Chain A
Amino acid sequence: MNINENIRWLLSFYRTSEISGALFFGQLARSMKPGIIQHNMTQQFADEAQHSRYWADCLQQLDMKPIKLERSYQDYYLKAAGLPSNLMEVLAITHVFELRVFEQYSHHKKIITQPKIVLQTLDTIIGEEVWHLKWVRKALKDMEAEYGVNEVQSTIKRFMQADRDAYLKVTDEYQDRIDSMMLTA
């Protein structure tokens, strides 16, 4: 498959996933009462929306049009994980999702030869993702007093399993595209 077509597909996939992330976290923020967690979640969904714009800008600079994709990673993930039912589960699902995003973008950065603008966009986004991981981890730690360490840990474990199931479903398609870019590099 054409390398440019693979880049276009992958960046479009990221763009769609970031939009879905913004909507997902926006809806979760609405379910919360005012406070520091809702405040941070609001910042997070604003960031996700911004990341989507970064990918749109990146595609534009590469003279590529985004592909309209029907499904995002979140769709697969939510199907596997189900919706959260309390604040701790909201944070656990957020934590697992953010870890996946971080790993995926870090993995993508290992592609040796790729347009500079893609690397710059990845660096910008990864920088912001670090804060997402940090605040959620702290909030989950604080919740151990209310929910118990075991309950928090087992919830994270359950959502991680769902994440693995979702990842396997999408891996075939986008891993092939990344691999082909790596082989070409």
Chain B
Amino acid sequence: MVDEKQFFSDMANILACPAEQINAKTKMLDLVDNSFTLVELIIEMQELYGISFGQIELKTVENVGQLQELFNID
């Protein structure tokens, strides 16, 4: 089972940024410099966790905490 710390660390690896920069309240748009980086991040995270969701579910995600919920991370 992946915990929150591991989740933040995986995100940081993909984005090549310090893990300390990421917490549940971090806004997604503050983490990515353009919308295609967001596509890269989301696709890589889905592959890493073996989870699939689409545009419709992602529409409501504004911060990392809401993304965690999509991935079922406590």
Contact = CB atoms under 8 A, between A and B. Distances in A.
B40 A86 contact: no
Given A27-B39, A83-B35, A84-B39, A33 B53 contact: no
Q: Is the interface of B mostly helix, strand, loop or mixed?
A: helix
Contacts, number: 48
Contact of B52 (A30, A31, A86): A86
Interface of A: 27-28, 30-33, 82-90, 146-147, 151, 155
A30 B36 CA distance: 9
Interface of B: 35-36, 38-40, 42-44, 46-47, 52-55, 57-59
Contacts of A155: 54
Lowest 7 A-B CB distances belong to which pairs?
A31-B40, A27-B36, A85-B55, A85-B58, A31-B39, A31-B43, A83-B39
B36 A87 contact: no
B40 A33 contact: no
Q: Is the interface of A mostly helix, strand, loop or mixed?
A: helix
A86 B36 contact: no
A27 B35 CA distance: 10
8 contacts: A27-B36, A27-B39, A33-B47, A83-B39, A83-B55, A85-B55, A86-B42, A146-B52
Nearest to A27: B36
Nearest to B57: A85
B46 A86 contact: yes
A89 B47 contact: no
A84 to B, nearest CB: 6
Which of B35, B42, B47, B55: most chain A CB closer than 10 A?
A: B55
Contacts of A147: 52
B36 A32 contact: no
